[in-house]
Structure 1
């Protein structure tokens, strides 16, 4: 039986933040790249875990909106968000 952490967590390799997105039929496990947080959410390079999570929480509304749009367009159980997902056309 799979379990999902509901609280965001910095990945062990520090390349991303993992979080869960609630959907009508379960959860989608998501990861946003730290590079995306640096480029679009004012995270400074070499930030510690606390600052990474703060940048994530501050940008969570936009992060969640992008994640939900991607899941609607391409249903999946695992989603990775990169800096390109936040670029404006």
Structure 2
């Protein structure tokens, strides 16, 4: 897999998303993953602070990268917002 996360992730001002950029097959795309997805599938405790949220994101890096790749294969160039549904039954 030649997909890489290309920017430091950051938590949105409302705390509901972690935003990041990814590069796949010479295309860059803005991405985000919902806090709900991190809580349901990456062991983020409810009410966790920003540092813990970013740690859960980092710990789930491989699965998140794989989900971004799947989405980019379907439609390249469009911003990607990953939700809990992207990780169900995987």
Length-normalised TM-score, structure 1 = 0.88
Could you tell me whether the CA contact under 8 Å between 1:27 and 1:77 is conserved in 2?
A: no
Do the aligned partners of 2:28 and 2:77 also contact (CA within 8 Å) in 1? no
Name structure 1 gaps, 5 residues minimum: none
| Displacement over 3 Å in runs of 4+ | none
What is the Cα-based RMSD across aligned positions, in Å? Answer: 1.5
Specify the SS of the correspondent of 1:21. Answer: strand
TM-score, with length taken from structure 2: 0.88
**Distance in 2 (alpha carbons) for counterparts of 1:87 and 1:58:** 18
How many pairs are equivalent? 85
Residue 55 of structure 1: how far off its partner (Å): 0.1
Task: Give the equivalent residue in structure 2 for 1:54.
Answer: 55
Alignment-derived partner of residue 17 in structure 2:
16
